[in-house]
Structure 1
Amino acid sequence: MKKTLFLLRHGETLLNGRYVGSTDVSLSENGRAMITEMAMAMVFPEKNIEQIYCSPLKRCCETCELLQLNADVRIDDDLREIDFGRWEGMTFEELLEMDSSLVDEWERAGDSFCFPEGESIRDFGNRVDRFAKQIMEVEKDRILIIAHGGTLRHLLCTFLGLDPEKKMVFALQPGGLSEIELYDSGGVLTRLLNPL
């Protein structure tokens, strides 16, 4: 087996710099411009994308539409970002002010941590892993996945055989693109590109 996976993080949003998981926010003007520029620069058309998988959230669907690729698009609920619960829309500084003890627990607890009134890291990881298993069985060889920073970092770890706790080693900015050659024996990261 050999597949080429293109993992694209949606463009910048109206809530850039804040914790945004389940909040269904649109792209900012800058986010739309960065994705349009990417499409015009022909980053994808020459890649002969056969299949697109996209998160159902607005910022990803808008990113997909702006690329204007001629490929089948499947919306997959497992590609959603983690639900930050009551921390949605907040900055890290605001979290520290409101919930400093929970922020400390988040750093210590690993995947057993559950965001207050939101999703646990374990449940999030399980659903992203479920999507990864599905990709391994898809018969298409050139696949574009449009999703969120947390989702794509988890997928990168999964496909590259890394512990998901290492996910923050990937600096994947809004509009960032990574490329993986996926074999039966594992994956090889062949590209990691962030907008300037």
Structure 2
Amino acid sequence: MFKVRNPQNTLRDVSEAVLRQIVGDRTVNEVLTVGRTEIATKMVELANQICKEYSLGIKIDQIVLQDVNPPEPVKAAFNAVNQAQQERETLINQAKSEYNKVIPKASGQAEETIQQAEGFATERVNNALGEVARFNAIYKEYIKVPEVTKRRIYLETMGSVLPKLGSKIIIDEHGNNVLPLLQMQLSK
């Protein structure tokens, strides 16, 4: 009825050949973990194609990979590799966590510093503009009446300097008249 004498043994041999071919093209990690369903799907396609070529009269609907384990001689090495990968993932996650703690804080501090510098610059510019306006206003008054403006500036300056002098004695240039400078409190 079929072109093969022993279809059961042939199917077993075809399954082993297909499994070796597909698994041989993959990494061990892929075979043991995430790639199992894709391997089973490819095995079904390839096994059905070979069964059709051999005229086995068998159609495979599903292949289930059970108990996929590495061979005993490499099991210890495989477990060590898995443990190293898990440790690597743990360290990567810890590094990302640390990054997420430090970088946003540093960015915030940098932004704060920039805003403070911009505020300081704005304050300095505004103060300078205010001083220029004040100077221009005094200059306009000075042009009108120079002597009065000089005397006013002199008195304002002395009013701010004298309270800081403390106890001093003022004498004239010949040393004849002694004038003690009294501590005067200016009301502000």
Per the normalisation by structure 2, the TM-score is 0.23
Per the normalisation by structure 1, the TM-score is 0.22
**Which one has a bigger Cα radius of gyration?**
2
Normalized per residue, the structure richer in helix is 2
